[in-house]
């Protein structure tokens, strides 16, 4: 029976919701207490929202008044790719948009503890010719186009979905966004080429925000349509086709009025932020995905990548807090692609303010060939393992040390090496800029002496401890992260690349 389930995959009705102990774990007592406090039933419908920039997953649940309320927010351990939708198979992008999760997409036999398939590509994605498969929300904190949680977190989320299906919900909605669709985030990313797509899915975001009801999603003319209903004089419901012309439909007047009111306020605030010169967010320079700050604080060389860093605190302070689940030894934090950094143009000194202009006037970074000989920082970057590589199940190499030649006083334009140095400085935790400045200061010739480079430390080749079959609940106080602070992560024998071909 197990073999037949594995062969069937995770997208068929042959997969039961709960075929093993992992999939049968009860909803934790703290979540049950939160449901009672918020007037929710255990088996009432749920809705899930994902945000890449904030690296958060929200679980909303329907209360007895019929509206959805936020039950719990989970920090995302790892997501891959860039801000923006998934376009093609192998681009490492985690999808964005609206998806429907039915019981057949729940996978209790996942190689990543537990998982569910996002349902990408949906009808809209297919109409645009977008490709991809097996895009999951799963455990194990490893991602190659997925949203990865800890095992304890996915156990809770899975149990909430399972109970909603037992209660009669036929499918729950998954809304995946690049960031929370607020005026300040829209202003920061106003020059991003994905903005037309983001404005389109913001319509659905706004429908949910003003109604606290799951928006009805349809597709026509290669676009999203939300909360469409048949006109008063129509005899049947409109039939939608993602690639065809839109049928006649209406949107309830009360919903239209509420959405327009919210959008008017958002647009006024957006205009104010742009007028005062809100800086444009830096475009991706090859960084692969992001990680919530609480997880970045727990691992060596931790970085939040394209997700937001800690606000009002530091990763060192967060390192004292309890991790929401077990962080596996093979987790790999986001790192810059040094080849992309070296070929990128120098950053602008002044904030960029967007102006109305044709799409063809957008600046495009020209690809420049990387320096063949390589400089000190290029070699340092390669020794540190900060070049382009797969995100999942890889071990960061040890750092190497070397002396730095005295800096000259001549002012020169930024070079690839200087931008590379800035990237290394940014992504190496604990880097002391004052010490670096002291190294770069001119010194008398008599005092400058060659210092032999210290031998590179060998990576720890010990295998990570085998995880138990079941994980303690996050809500009930999960154990501290098993990763020893300061120790280099090691590659799990059952790595992502060896498992990716199997059922997730």
Among all residues, which ones are annotated catalytic?
A: 138, 146
SS3 category, 117: strand
Which residue(s) pair with 116 in the sheet?
106, 137
Q: Where are the alpha helices (DSSP H) in 284-371?
A: 293-296, 315-318, 338-343
- Give helix 195-211 / helix 253-275 axis angle, nearest 10°: 130
Q: Which residues 6+ apart lie within 8 Å of 235 measured at CB?
A: none
Q: What are phi and psi of 275, to 5 degrees?
A: -65, -35
SS3 category, 296: helix
First to last CA, the chain: 17
Q: Which residues 6+ apart lie within 8 Å of 272 measured at CB?
A: none
C-alpha dihedral, 241 to 244 to 247 to 249, nearest 10°: 60
Farthest CA pair distance, the chain: 94
How far is CA 20 from each of CA 101, 213, 411, rounded to the nearest angstrom? 20, 33, 66
Q: How many CB atoms lie within 10 A of CB 377?
A: 22
CB-hemisphere CA count at 13 Å for 419? 20
Query: Contact at 8 Å (CB) between 333 and 303?
Result: yes
């Amino acid at each position: 029976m197990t073999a037949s389930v594995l062969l069937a995959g995770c997208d068929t009705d042959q997969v039961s919701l709960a075929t093993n102990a992992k999939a049968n774990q009860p909803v934790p007592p703290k979540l049950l207490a939160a449901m009672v406090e918020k007037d929710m039933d255990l088996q009432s419908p749920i809705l899930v929202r994902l945000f890449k920039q904030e690296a958060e997953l929200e679980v909303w649940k329907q209360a007895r008044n019929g509206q959805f309320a936020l039950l719990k927010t989970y920090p995302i351990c790892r997501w891959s790719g860039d801000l923006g939708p998934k376009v093609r198979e192998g681009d490492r992008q985690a999808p964005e948009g609206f998806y429907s999760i039915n019981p057949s997409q729940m996978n209790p036999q996942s190689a990543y503890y537990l998982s569910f398939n996002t349902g990408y590509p949906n009808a809209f994605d297919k109409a645009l010719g977008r490709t991809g498969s097996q895009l999951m929300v799963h455990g194990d904190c490893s991602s190659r186009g997925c949203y990865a949680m800890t095992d304890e977190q996915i156990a809770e989320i899975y149990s909430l979905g399972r109970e909603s299906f037992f209660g009669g919900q036929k499918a729950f909605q998954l809304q995946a966004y690049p960031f929370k669709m607020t005026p300040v985030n829209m202003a920061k990313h106003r020059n991003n080429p994905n903005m037309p797509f983001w404005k389109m899915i913001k319509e659905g975001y706004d429908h949910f925000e003003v109604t606290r009801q799951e928006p009805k999603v349809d597709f026509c003319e290669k676009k999203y349509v939300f909360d469409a209903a048949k006109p008063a004089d129509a005899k049947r419901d409109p039939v939608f086709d993602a690639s065809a012309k839109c049928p006649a439909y209406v949107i309830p007047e009360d919903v239209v009025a509420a959405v327009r009111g919210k959008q008017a306020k958002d647009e006024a605030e957006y205009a104010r932020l742009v007028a005062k010169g809100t800086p444009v967010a830096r475009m991706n320079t090859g960084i692969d995905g992001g990680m919530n700050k609480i997880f970045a604080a727990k691992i060596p060389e931790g970085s939040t990548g394209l997700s937001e860093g800690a606000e009002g605190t530091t990763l060192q302070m967060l390192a004292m807090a309890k991790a929401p689940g077990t962080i596996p030894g093979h987790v790999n934090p986001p790192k810059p692609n040094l080849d992309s950094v070296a070929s990128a143009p120098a950053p602008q000194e002044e904030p960029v303010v967007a102006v109305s202009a044709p799409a063809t006037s957008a600046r495009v970074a020209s690809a420049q060939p990387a320096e063949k000989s390589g400089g000190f920082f290029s070699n340092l970057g390669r020794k540190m393992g900060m070049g382009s590589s797969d995100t999942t199940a890889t071990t960061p190499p040890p750092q190497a040390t070397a002396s730095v030649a005295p800096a000259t006083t001549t002012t020169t334009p930024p070079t690839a090496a200087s931008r590379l140095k800035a990237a290394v400085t940014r992504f190496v935790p604990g880097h002391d800029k004052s010490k670096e400045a002291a190294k770069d200061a001119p010194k008398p010739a008599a005092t400058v002496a060659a210092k032999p480079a210290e031998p590179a430390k060998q990576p720890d080749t010990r295998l990570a401890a085998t995880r138990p079959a079941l994980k303690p609940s996050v809500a009930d106080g999960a154990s501290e992260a098993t990763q020893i602070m300061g120790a280099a992560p090691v590659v799990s024998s059952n790595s992502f690349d060896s498992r990716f071909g199997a059922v997730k």
